[in-house]
Structure 1
Amino acid sequence: MSAESGAATTAFPSTVASASVPHHGVNPADLATGVIIGRTSEYFDFFVYAIASVIVFPKWVFPYATPLNGTLLSFAIFALAFLARPIGDVIFLAFERIWGRNVKLTVALILLGASTVSLGFLPGYAQVGWSSALILSILRIGQGLALGGVWDGLPSLLAIYAPEKQRGWYAMIPQLGAPLGLIVASGLFAYFTTFLSAQDFFDWGWRYPFFVAFAINVVALFSRLRIVTSPEYQEQFEALELQAAPVKETIEAEGRNIVIGAFAPLASFAMFHMVTVFPLSWVLLFTKQTPAKFLLIELVSAIFGVAAIVASGVLANRIGRTRVLSITAAAIAAFSGFAPQLLNTGDVGEASFMILGFILLGLSFGQASGTTASNFAQIYRYTASALTSDLAWLFGAGFAPFVALAISSRFGVIASGGYLLSGAIVTVLALAINRQLEED
């Protein structure tokens, strides 16, 4: 979720929640605050890069390509982070076993911050030629490796303290970081694209959001370290066996559940990029909409997303998390059949697509974390949850902007709905398989 990485790690069986573990000094409010700050900082990094991959990098790094091909090349590099994240998992989980969670988290966040702030100094094609794309690729891989290592276990601990009938509510807390990060990132880019000339924006204005991302990372680092390094929380991690297990051993023991967990939230993760990254690219390439205006539409829509995530917690407590995911997957399937065409119908259509899309995203994404975590044996849960999360992002979202734009540019924007529909179908199938396994 890690950042883009917090998904897939916040559901635990009732036996764990009620287990007799020491609670001394553990404050659920502190946990929730740490989780939200951590996830917001990670998603802010994510969206700063995502927005720049649409409005900056095609011109800055690929000026020799057509606008469409430049954006597709930019999206190809965008996907590198998702390919690198599982590798980062393997590296940093081993790092944690040797040096501990606090050292691992510090190194991962420093790598994330360094990769992000370095993007703010990225030379363009005019300065260094093809090396610009190479540098961008290396820094994007650095972000991906770091995102594979920033999992701190706090959402898992938060879920353990969730009252038995409040699991849906506690599951949605880490997910709030996504729309909150988007609101800040969209606001920053909207400000600079509005009040700077095009020349000034491309000369220097686009760099500032990356510097802000670095500053936010520093704040998030100290906030999270304050919690995970305290004796009270260390005691909880040890008592509940929330420790890094060897990756190979975890895959051998929990491979089937990891695969199911990676595919269960596919509808949510596909929807994630279909209402955040893809529409920005489409309207800028194929309509007369300005970046600043659409970013404001995106910002307002993300507020609806925050409300929908909160609502998902209420609904999940009443009807169950699996039912919420199944219903929203069906709704996303219906959305895929008509909504993408709204992006070609002007301001009202764009706003309608974005608001409705964010409401569906919030309801589904709010409960997309930890769908199968209760199936993991406790000794493997920490590592298996991290792997499940990053594989879910890879399969569900890593190539979504590239695929959606490529097929839409060839067959029309309605074709992007096919990508969403496939994600919804996979989610329903994965949930059905998981339910059957639980019954067996």
Structure 2
Amino acid sequence: MPSSKILPSRPRRASLDAANHVKDVERAVAPSEIAVGVIIGRTSEYFDFFVYAIASVLVFPSVFFPFADPLTGALWSFVIFSFAFIGRPIGTLLFMKIQSRYGRAVKLSTALFLLGTSTVGMAFLPSYATLGAGAIVLLSILRFTQGIALGGSWDGLSSLLALSAPKERRGWWAMIPQLGAPIGFMVAAALFLVLHSELPKQEFLDWGWRFPFYVAFAINVVALFARLRLVVTPEYERLLQHNKLVPSPVGKLLKARGSNLFIGAFATLASYALFHLVTVFPLSWISLYSNQSVNDVLTVQIAGGAIAVLGVVVSGLIADRFGRRNTLGSLAIAIALFSFVAPFLMRGSVMGEDIFILLGFALLGLSYGQAAGAVTANFEPEYRYTGAALTSDLAWLIGAAFAPLIALGMSAHFGLGFLGVYLFSGAVCTLVALRVNKVLESRA
């Protein structure tokens, strides 16, 4: 009697075909391909971010707050600087609603269009001398909408990259999205350095500072098409859906994993606090209270950015050897130690200021390289997309939004010792959050 095969039923065969198709897609989409999209997206966002940050030091106090003394003008500029970080979580929630209703492509296109419009709109703003207080109001609105757009531009590619990477190389792949920060900073700083060094001061304040905002808009357009080429293709869409990287109800997330949002935000506080204290703060402090030229500071900071790139890369190797949380904890201790010498470096010679910048960038690269994903990995798959976005938003809001304002204001009025206090408090918060997270995990 001839042998016969028992074929699976039609529904079962259909499900097997679907599962095999997902596996084929996962094999077709390499982590390196995802990494390219992540780096392009993050670099464009951070370039926008740092164009505004540098202008808030070199330009806005004179253009929008000419009625105030230099210190007060800088502080008012940093108040508006914080508006984007307040807008980020609002943008995340708003645009996730848009994604749920209209799809990922519409969400990303709208967010990046809003980001580009807000950024280039700043280039057309009249000065206080022309429009008075209306110019400050318009700058505030554009900065807030910039933050909403940054929150809305979350595409989930960094989470997809982490999930697609081999388990033993998670630290290496986790550092790749973080490369966008130092690269974006170096490009923005280099552009301002060229303009500030080549143009007379009055021409720079009249029109030269506007050019980087035009460039930011052009970069956004390029980044939009590069990212859309990834996230709207059927392969990526299926892979994102397969990994449940879709918006989840915020109420449900808060009920199930609300504490993890805040633990994740505080676990990276040392890194995020340091972020602005080696980029924005030194530029403002030195321009106000030091004899070192702005051009020299920007040159040193560009070199610091290159050191940070190397630090980010090295952090991946360290994390895969010793664990991402151990890496974050060890770097928090290093930042705490750095907080004791930071005031002495900044109140010393030009060499001391340069050492503060370069050493700070080295610590920033090593710590920021693993700031994403060490705690957000605790989210169940259904909450990871929304949880990772909101954790990042809260980390920026709590750790970085007011860092330049607080550090400059307190240091100017009460001494540079408060710079060390601010850094030390961030390091302590990171260590406490990592400890709490470990205790909660052991009980789970």
Same fold? TM cut 0.5: yes
Tell me how far 1:30 sits from its aligned partner. Answer: 1.6
Among candidates 114, 121, 126, match of residue 124 of structure 2: 121
Measured against aligned partners, the alpha-carbon deviations of 1:272-318 in whole angstroms (never above 9, x if no partner) come to: 01101111110001112221111111101110000001000010011
Name 2:331's counterpart in structure 1: 328
Which of the numbers 89, 94, 98 marks the counterpart of 1:91?
94
Match of 2:285 in 1: 282
How far has the Cα of 1:357 moved from its partner? 0.4
**Greater relative contact order: 1 or 2 (C-alpha under 8 angstroms, separation 6 or more)?**
1
Q: Give the residue type in structure 1 aligned to 2:102.
A: W
Q: Secondary structure at the match of 2:154?
A: coil
2:236 paired with 1:233 = yes
Equivalent position of 1:7 in the other structure: none
1:21 is displaced (CA, Å) by 8.1
Residue matched to 1:198: 201
For 1:105 and 1:346, locate their aligned partners in 2 and report how far apart those are by CA, in whole Å.
47
Partner of 1:302: 305
Task: Provide the residue aligned with 1:23 in structure 2.
Answer: 26
By how many angstroms is 1:199 displaced? 1.1
Q: Distance in 2 between matches of 1:328 and 1:77?
A: 30
Query: What residue in structure 1 maps to residue 75 of structure 2?
Result: 72
Tell me the TM-score normalized by structure 2: 0.93
Q: Alpha carbon RMSD of aligned pairs, Å?
A: 1.2
Letter in 2 for 1:288: N
1:249 is displaced (CA, Å) by 2.0
1:20 and 1:373 map into 2 onto residues whose CA distance is 25
Question: Which residue does the alignment assign to 1:4?
Answer: none
The Cα shift of 1:408 comes to: 0.2
What are the within-5 Å matches in structure 2 for residues 55-204 of structure 1?
A: 55-204=58-207
In structure 1, stretches of 5+ residues that fail to align are: 1-18
Distance in 1, Cα, partners of 2:142 & 2:49: 13
Does the Cα contact within 8 Å between 1:193 and 1:292 map onto a contact in 2?
yes
Letter in 1 for 2:111: A
1:346 Cα deviation (Å)? 3.2
Q: Which structure features the higher share of helix residues? A: 2
**Is the Cα contact below 8 Å between 1:21 and 1:240 reproduced in 2?**
no
Contact 2:315/2:369 (CA < 8 Å) preserved in 1? yes
From 433, 437, 440, the counterpart of 1:434:
437
Shift of 1:377: 1.7
- SS of the residue corresponding to residue 173 of structure 1 reads helix
In structure 1, what is the equivalent of residue 397 of structure 2? Answer: 394
In the TM superposition, residue 20 of structure 1 has moved relative to its aligned partner by 6.5
Residue 421 of structure 2 is matched in structure 1 by 418
Which position in structure 1 is the counterpart of 2:10?
none
AA matched with 1:292: N
- 1:252 shift after superposition: 1.9
Q: 1:405 to 1:309 in 2, by over 3 A?
A: same
Is 2:258 the counterpart of 1:269?
no
Q: Which moved more, 1:370-379 or 1:34-43?
A: 370-379
Whether 2:369 is the aligned partner of 1:357: answer no
1:360 is matched by which residue type in structure 2? L
3-state SS, counterpart of residue 338 of structure 1: helix
Determine if the alignment matches structure 1 residue 372 to structure 2 residue 375: yes
Distance 1:27 1:56, change over 3 A: same
* Alpha-carbon shift at residue 25 of structure 1 (Å): 2.6
Count of matched residue pairs: 422
Q: Does the CA-based 8 Å contact 2:100-2:247 persist in structure 1? A: yes
Q: Which amino acid in 1 is paired with 2:364?
A: L
Kept in 2: contact 1:53–1:78 (CA 8 A):
yes
Larger Rg: 2
| Partner AA of 2:367 in structure 1 | S
> What is the alpha-carbon distance in structure 2 between the residues aligned to residue 214 and residue 150 of structure 1?
15
What code does the residue aligned with 1:71 have? Answer: A
CA distance in 1, matches of 2:408, 2:43: 27
Q: Distance in 1 between matches of 2:380 and 2:333?
A: 31
Cα distance, 1:132 vs. partner? 1.0
Structure 1: distance between partners of 2:54 and 2:391: 26
Contact in 2 for aligned 1:338/1:414 (Cα 8 Å): no
Query: Is the contact between residue 263 and residue 433 of structure 2 (CA under 8 Å) also seen in structure 1?
Result: yes
- What are structure 2's unaligned runs of at least 5 residues? 1-21
- Deviation of 1:188 (Å): 0.5
2:342/2:419 contact within 8 Å kept: no
Residue deviations 1:35-62 (CA, integer Å, cap 9, x gap): 0010000000000000000010000000
Aligned pair 1:248/2:260, yes or no?
A: no
1:197-249 per-position Cα deviation (integer Å, ceiling 9, x unaligned): 00110111000000111111111000000000111000101111111112222
Q: Kindly state the Cα deviation for residue 347 of structure 1 after the two structures are TM-superposed.
A: 2.8
Q: Distance in 1 between matches of 2:155 and 2:361?
A: 27
Report the residue type matching 2:176 in the other structure: I
Give the percent of matched residue pairs that are identical in Structure 1 and Structure 2: 54
Equivalent position SS for 1:148: helix
Q: Which residue of 1 aligns with 2:42?
A: 39
CA distance in 2, matches of 1:407, 1:293: 25
* Alpha-carbon distance, 1:102 to partner: 1.0
Matched position secondary structure for 2:28:
coil
In the alignment, which residue of structure 1 is the partner of 2:210?
207
